[in-house]
Amino acid sequence: MVSIHVERDKKDITKDFSGTIAALLDELKINKETIVVVKNGEVVSETDKCEGDDKLKLLSVVSGG
């Protein structure tokens, strides 16, 4: 089971999932442009895979000018 912490919603999800980060974000209906994904303590791209006991943090991107 993949453990997912969604920072913007302040919620934790446990999901039986195996596939790319992009596919997981699509399934969760989260815009890839608005977050940074941290997998097991390292920043990863949407093409990386997640499965098993991976721990993900979906961190909101904040920008300003």
Quote the number of domains for the chain: 1
* Residue 65 falls inside a structural domain: no
**Model confidence pLDDT, tens digit, residues 12-50:** 999 999 999 999 999 999 999 999 999 999 999 999 999
Q: How far apart are CA 25 and CA 8, in angstroms?
A: 14
> pTM of the full predicted structure?
0.88
CA angle 10, 34, 64 (to 5 degrees): 100
CATH number at residue 37: 3.10.20.30
> Is 21:46 a contact under the CB 8 Å cutoff?
yes
Q: State whether residue 44 is helix, strand or coil.
A: strand
> Is 34:58 a contact under the CB 8 Å cutoff?
no
Containing structural domain, residue 8? 2-60
Q: How far apart are CA 63 and CA 59, in angstroms?
A: 13
